[in-house]
Structure 1
């Protein structure tokens, strides 16, 4: 059985002072500032190993609140993570300093077996636009220390914001070195656009990771039950770089398809399983997702979960988080890249769905923020794979749902003055696109931009640009960049300008790759369009 890997702080996290607080100092501060209790000790007397193997996280920040998360799993690849089958009391603290001399909130939460001993504390009463540190304690065990931030207050003037944008981290396709570099960035939040896990079975070697210790045999089969999805998250969170990125900043996550099944669409599975059977699987996947993400309670009830939501960062930015999987109709023309068809253009076929679409456009319309960002899973702009008259469209992207795509894009075009910016993942490549009134006419009006982050690891080492990538560039004049290395996107906002830095690593089949900015673009507020920086 492979152990949960220990973080490598000496080499990669020394820049993060909050991660260098010694265990002894942390223990002393916790014992001094947080009252203990016999009930907590009694509930944890059977814990003989560190329960914080899966790390800690924070997310979904608000001006006065943030969610802090952990899951107790002393032996993460065993049933229930090796926990005894009873509820366990978890103590938590939030402070304004990394050594917890100024604790502003503290309390106790209950980790329950029915939720796989996950803890989601919605910490309230915090100050806007403020940095905090947090940690947990169970019995004699202390968690690592995490850093988080609240958002600016509504109407607050904000000089600048910085986000890291990431997606697609197949465990078997390589190491999460990009997350190591995200942890070293000074970002206000990490926006994760989906494919946090892949449901596929995992070989003993861990694929391109070529592990010295074999992955346990229970990972060979595809995840399709609640216990199996929980195992998949445990394995993914064994990666120290992923844990470090969670510790460094609050996350605002959404899902795509692989959190359930590749290219599933609403009620339709990839294999066209009976709907009743697939909804059982979807319910298990959604439950496991919530259990492992820093999301607010309540947990999903059955196969449905309201994941789309909005975050406001003072007067500078608003972030609309979309869900383009749960409500969509089956892909047209049996999926894949296909020519135009009546099915593709059928107005009855939903991607985000009418309710979410109204929520999105109404929100952008009434926004008072300078920049309006859309955290989106699959490419929203038109993308043609073939430069000839026989256009080819991706049936799994917005192009495959042409009627809803047109309503959404026309709505954003009417809101050009709101500076719409679409943030996208999914395709395992870095793209930069101008959004056009008429994508076939390079001279038509630009009303926004779409910034596509490459994958953290999915696709392996990748390359600068493949033959297919070059074909995309040749076929789509509004497409300004294609790069197929692994990495992430760094977006910096001011009142006057957005700057997008595409960050990439040269390899993921081994650890500790360096990172560099491969391309940068700016966008002027009030003047949509990409400019090479």
Structure 2
């Protein structure tokens, strides 16, 4: 494939995808008696997304009754009640094989800040009724939304989705890793067969058919269908919608023997736009579609919240740094100077100049009380001691050896306050403080995850500068890590900027697996990491769950909730593991 810009590649490659119809609300219109509807069922449910003050995207997929069919005609209705005795908008169109029989409807002319119900029909079936809403236009006093991320089908049941479907939510934000690209037996699939959740197709995803089949499997899940039908979604992709640790031009989970990466990326993006209720750019009809060159976009909840959905993955991301590259294979020395120079290299992009300019303009022109960034990876600085970040010492061992080193330093300085038992303990354990251990204890802290904003220090400072320039009450939302976090954000000079609230995963395992933390040690480990990381105020390192935000002009209240297990068919909420924190408008960079 010729060397083309990322924007041109996506736009040219996705032109003609189609599948979006425009319907206008007509108060008092009658039902559609179209007897030419085709035959098919709605096996993958319904969904809505990207609401504006006067419109919303509706989504469904038709499973044709005839496996040889290339089109199936269907109709849709929008009403102000679940009984559909007052239909406000309706229309009909075709689900086409070229779009994997998916359909999107842009319903326009709706009233602001209003709840609606919708459904689809064929001659053979009526879909589940979905509930959606529009955004407030001028003013609003309250917003309730859920934040989710990292839903891995073979890793466990989607109990998080089941729980959210019971809640009365205005919006659901999915911050990426909606699907995973690995084959059966891959990442987090150890119990998939026992749960009846082995990946389909069985191989890793490379082609358009592969990605479509994986979305079909995920969208067959009853809990995922239920949460989509309960509220409109705002979605952004992360890496696993394409391949692990995707960046501009490649991915960790792609090699030359697996074909052209750009072709794989195009296939993945096309399937994403087919299967998710995301709004394409520009004016569309059933025959023509200008696909977006980017997915960063803005949603204004009246004058209360300016919600900006960012793309930190596919817009301009430089190849992530790899910490092992800074070890000298001969001497075993670590190049700390080289690592930090590369982290803070201003040429290493994460958002890219176009997205950064858009972000600056969107924040500067907003009069909303709160500025929310819906994006993928942790922005807060998560620097861990070198020995822990490189997994050369476990957290308890690091703490014990650190305390021992402090005793040794006090003894060497002739500290007269040392107790006899401390001296006895030091004498018995002095030999544990080898030169190698002392070097590990004295080494600078380093990022535990260079795929996050910690690997792009200059790019993070650029966002912080925008927040300071616009005097924003900034709340950053994140997913990706599979764990729940809350941090107070500061720039490199120590100026407070805002807060970050990160959700746990729907089903993917987190730090408890990465750091091999046993369940009885969760609380101790979490407290230890919070103590070690500047600005970190909360961590859940071992549970799957979601984040709820309740927003008023005075405060943003964050509530983390967790399910008992994703491996068992049933679940309960773990009240003892939940957490609630607030950020006040009067002190918007402080978590309480």
TM-score (structure 1 length as normaliser): 0.84
Structure 2: how far apart are the matches of 1:327 and 1:65?
26
CA distance in 1, matches of 2:375, 2:553: 23
Change (3 A) 1:332 1:418: closer
In the alignment, is residue 72 of structure 1 matched against residue 69 of structure 2? no
Conserved? CA contact 1:461–1:507, under 8 Å? no
Write the deviation string for residues 128-181 of structure 1: whole angstroms up to 9, x where unpaired: 00000000001121000010010001x22x121101000001111111101111
1:477 lines up with 2:527 in the alignment = no
Distance, in Å, in 2 between the alignment partners of 1:179 and 1:336 is 37
Which residues of structure 1 form unaligned runs of 5+? Answer: 1-31, 76-81
Out of 557, 562, 566, the residue aligned to residue 508 of structure 1 is 566
Partners of 1:469 and 1:422 in 2: CA distance: 21
Question: Residue 246 of structure 1 corresponds to which residue in structure 2?
Answer: 228
SS at match of 2:224: helix
Q: Is the 8 A contact 1:422 1:451 kept in 2?
A: yes
Question: How many Å separate the matches in 1 of 2:478 and 2:383?
Answer: 17
Q: Give the C-alpha shift of residue 305 in structure 1.
A: 3.7
SS in 2 for 1:456: coil
| CA distance in structure 2 between the partners assigned to 1:214 and 1:324 by the alignment | 30
1:528 paired with 2:588, answer: yes
| Residue in structure 2 matched with residue 183 of structure 1 by the alignment | 165
Alignment pair present for 1:231 and 2:213: yes
State the match for 1:102 in structure 2. Answer: 86
Q: Which has the larger radius of gyration?
A: 2
Q: How far is the alpha carbon of 1:333 from its aligned partner?
A: 3.5
Q: Which residue of 2 aligns with 1:61?
A: 51
Cα distance, 1:344 vs structure 2: 2.2
1:129 and 1:276, CA in 2 relative to 1: closer, same or farther beyond 3 A? same
The aligned residue for residue 147 of structure 2 is 165
- 1:121 maps to which residue? 105
DSSP 3-state at the match of 1:360: helix
For 1:214 and 1:457, the matched residues in 2 are separated by 12
Q: How does 1:262-277 map to 2 (within 5 A)?
A: 262-270=244-252, 271-273=254-256, 277=260
- 1:420 is aligned to 474
- TM-superposed CA distance for 1:468, in Å, is 6.7
Distance in 1 (alpha carbons) for counterparts of 2:340 and 2:118: 53
CA contact (8 A) 2:64 2:72 kept: no
CA contact (8 A) 2:537 2:591 kept: no
Aligned in 2, Cα 1:341/1:136: closer, same or farther, shift over 3 Å? same
Greater percentage in helix: 2
The answer as to 2:508 corresponding to 1:458 is yes
Q: Is the 8 A contact 2:344 2:458 kept in 1?
A: yes
- The answer to whether 1:437 aligns with 2:491 is yes
Aligned: 1:411 with 2:466: yes
Q: How does 1:354-393 map to 2 (within 5 A)?
A: 354-386=353-385, 389-393=443-447
| Residues 465 and 482, structure 1, Cα contact 8 Å, conserved in 2 | no
Distance 1:111 1:160 in 2: 38
Partner of 1:319: 307
Asked if residue 309 in structure 1 is aligned to residue 312 in structure 2, the reply is: no
SS of match in other structure, 1:427: coil
Provide the aligned length of Structure 1 versus Structure 2.
Answer: 480
**Superposed counterparts of 1:121-160, under 5 Å:** 121-153=105-137, 155-156=138-139, 158-160=140-142
**SS of equivalent residue, structure 2 residue 562:** strand
Pick the aligned partner of 2:96 from 112, 116, 135: 112
State the partner residue of 1:397: 452
**8 Å CA contact 1:268, 1:330 repeated in 2:** no
Q: Deviations over 1:5-46 (max 9, x none)?
A: xxxxxxxxxxxxxxxxxxxxxxxxxxx952323432xx43xx
Return the offset for 1:335: 6.0
Q: So what's the TM-score if we normalise by structure 2?
A: 0.76
Over 3 Å counting, the alpha-carbon distance change for 1:36 and 1:268 in structure 2 is: same
Pairing of 1:192-341 with structure 2 (within 5 A): 192-203=174-185, 207-211=190-194, 215=198, 219-270=201-252, 271-273=254-256, 277-297=260-280, 305-334=293-322, 339=336, 340-341=339-340
SS of structure 2 residue aligned to 1:418: coil
